[in-house]
Structure formats: structure tokens, C-alpha cells
Amino acid sequence: MNLISRRTFLAQAGIVAAAARLGSGPRLSPEQSAVHNRLASDPLRPQYHLLPAANWMNDPNGPIFYKDCYHMFFQYNPNGAFWGSMHWAHASSPDMVRWKHEPIALAPTPGGYDRDGVFSGSAVLDDDTPTVIYTGVLPPTSPSEVTLDDGQHKWREVQCLATSRDRDLRTWHKLAEPIIPWPPKGLGITGFRDPSVWREGRDWMMTLGSGIRGEGGAVLLYRSSDLHHWAYLHPLIAGRGTGRPAANPVDNGEMWECPDFFSLGDRHVLLFATMGKVFWKTGRYRDRSFTVDKEGVVDFGAYYAAKTMLDKDGTRILWGWIPETRPEAETRAAGWAGLMSLPRGLRLASDGTLEMSVATAVETLRGEHAGCDLSGNRSSQAKALTRLRISHLAAEIQAEFAPQRDFQLRLCAQDGQPFAEIATIPKGGAPSCG
């Protein structure tokens, strides 16, 4: 793949035209146009991760392989590089690596059950009909209807369904009424969102992210024969929160978001997001009950809202949202925020531990290889390093370091100014220069 193709295209065609493919909207102001034009030359914009042409993105939604094409939907704000006005953006790819922006798939319906946002969900094939099930949010008519209270918003959450009849999944038709309008009675829940759906024998099954107020996060289990009429069964699993007060129950573990439940090898895997991380649990699923054997954290970096799919070969592929660590003022000024992780293949170790590796499709991004032999003296090492160049701020670095020794790997710009550094931290607290 030509790693400069995206920037070359954006610089020539204009980022405003690229952004327009994500959906129509009001004419851009001169200030907005200036921001969008800067995107084409922004050195911080990733070149081989999926991200929108402009503005905010978060959770991956409904990834699916359909008619020899991969489709990814994701949470998207068409109004700027900040959270709000959630839509489902859409991108398609032949290989999970090279993506094309498609028109917005789902937008809030004025006066509808998703009037305040089209939140996260899943995509399945009902026979040969692509179907998405997602959470819609709307204002409550009374305090008792509130299922989402994060300290800033008070919303009612319902589960909605839409279907597509075209090969490219560009047009979707929503049901007028939600398929699950209310949470189970008698549960003091802390959330009711992010459906994950799968086929189990003759039934459809669904998990929903939730939690029990004052106790901890939970995943609710539902069953249906037709995707339209659902019966609540019981919590698939529940946990304990930290017990610390929090305006948003996600922050103290009393709400588990984005559950994803699937079989892998001879076990089942549950993923869910809470307290800023994605957690995994593996175990046995029998009689619609899940017994956990192993558990851990998927990624200790900036990573959230994991979602999986099966690729064309039946490999379980993991996606995740890489949230920003920059202040919001910087992302607003930059005109973009957030990106999708690279696809990872999942497998189980013999003891049930979840293992992952970057999907083999990503290897097609590799271009010309350049090596450096540092076995000589310092003078020859310096000359060898000087000859190494990273073009267009895109490269994969493989380096080996001697064990039990301090090291320092420094990347410098063309003018010699430091760009990035990886080093050991000695006891004094400053990076080693040895």
C-alpha cells in the first residue's frame, strides 16, 4: 500500500469533499473549512488506522463481512471533533486494512426513539437480510424512565432494529417502535445499552450492558425467535464495583458497557468495558449460564469499547476504539478525534487465557525494508543510524536490546530536533543517555 495515498488524495481533492461523503450537513463556515483543510497535512493523523475524514469517532459498531466485503460502522459526530449527536458512520473494505468512507448509515430520527442519539450495537444476518440492533436514546417523561445518568445527561435507553436490502449496506430502514422498550422490572439498573446478538440453535440471543445500583456491573441476557420479540432471562454475569462514589456508574464499575459474548475454541469469551478499560473473561457456557475460568485486561493503553466479528476465514477478529489523550481543546482545533485499532486475531491458550495478535492482513501494509547493523564502533553506528529514514511519518520499527542494560531509542526530525523517545528509566527518574 502507498502510505501517502490518503494524504495525497486529501490534499488534492480537499478534506471537505471527503468529509461530505459521510453525510450531508450545513454549509461549512470559513473557520470550519480552514480546520478541514489542515487535516490533509496534519502530521499527527494516522495513515493506516480507520478514522473518519473529519470530526469525532468512538465505539466500533456492527462489524460484518457481507457479500465479499468488510463493513465497519462506528459512533460518529458529524458536527465536530467532540462527543455528541451520535450517528453510525460507515466504512467498507476488501481486506480490513484499506477503507473507503460510505454515507452515514444511521442518524437520529427527529421525534423518534433515537432522537438524542444512535448508540452502539451489533449487525447480524437474518437469513440473508443484514440487520442491526442498536441502542436509541431519548428524553425520559419521568425520573423513573431514566436508565442513563452519567452526571451530565439523563436519558431513557431503548433497543432498536433496522434492516438493509442493498448489497452495499448504504440504506437502512428502521422499525418504528423499539424491540425492547423497557429494562427488566424490579432491577435498579445503572444502564441499558450496547446490544450484542448471536444465533444459538433456533434462537437469537442478546446481551446488554448494565449494572445493579449499589452493587456492580452486569450483563443482561435475552432470547428471541425472530429478532423482534425478546424475553429477558437473567443476568449472564454480574460483578462488584469499587464502592467509591461516582457521578457516572461506569467510572466505579457499577455499569459494564459494550459487552461482547462469543464462542472461541472449546470455551466462551466475554468482553466488556468499564472504568476506562476493556476486560475479558473466559469460561464455560452451558444452559445459558456462564462460569468464568480466567480473566484479565485486553489492553492497558488507550483502548475501549471492544467489538468482534468473524472474518471471511472464520477467524475471530477484535476491534477497539482508541480514544484521545489530548485535551478537548486540541482535538477541536485539530478537527478530528479518535481512531479505530488495527484488527487483531483472537485465540485461546490451552489454559483458557485469551491471546491476540495483529491480523495477518495488516502485513500487506509493509513496504520497503531498511535495516541497521550496530555491531561496530560508535562512529560506524552513528553513520548507520544517520542513513535510516522514516518517510511520511509511517513505519514499523523492530529493535532488539541487550537484557539487563539501559537503552535509549530516539527518533529525530530532519532538522535534528527530538520527535519521540523510548528509554529505560533509571532510579534517578531521567531517561538514560547511554
- Given the C-alpha cell 428502521, which residue does it identify? 174
**Rounded Cα gap, residues 426 and 111, in angstroms:** 60
59, 149, 194, 260: the catalytic one is: 59
CA distances from 117 to 68, 111, 136, 171, 207 (A): 30, 11, 6, 18, 20
Short-list 122, 204, 205, CA closest to 160: 122
Q: How far apart are the first and last CA of the chain?
A: 37
256 closest CA partner among 244, 268, 238: 238
Reading the block at residue 290, the C-alpha cell is 456462564
**Contacts of 344 by beta carbon, 8 Å cutoff, 6+ apart:** 317, 318, 319, 356, 357, 358, 359
Measured CA to CA, the distance from residue 213 to residue 188 in angstroms comes to 6
Cα–Cα–Cα angle for 337, 341, 345, nearest 5°? 170
> CA triplet 171, 175, 177: central angle to 5 degrees?
150
What is the distance of C-alpha 209 from the center of its chain? Answer: 16
DSSP letter string over 402-430?
-TTS--EEEEE-TTS-EEEEEE---TTSS
Reading the block at residue 91, the C-alpha cell is 466504512
The Cα–Cα gap between 145 and 147 comes to 6
Please, which residues have CB within 8 angstroms of residue 48's CB and are 6 or more apart in sequence? Answer: 1, 3, 97, 342, 362, 365, 394
Beta strands in 107-183 (DSSP E): 117-126, 129-138, 148-149, 154-163, 173-174
CA contacts within 13 A on the Cβ side of 199: 9
Tell me the β-bridge partners of 129: 126
CA distance 169 to 190: 33
Is 59 among the catalytic positions? yes
Residues serving a catalytic function are 59
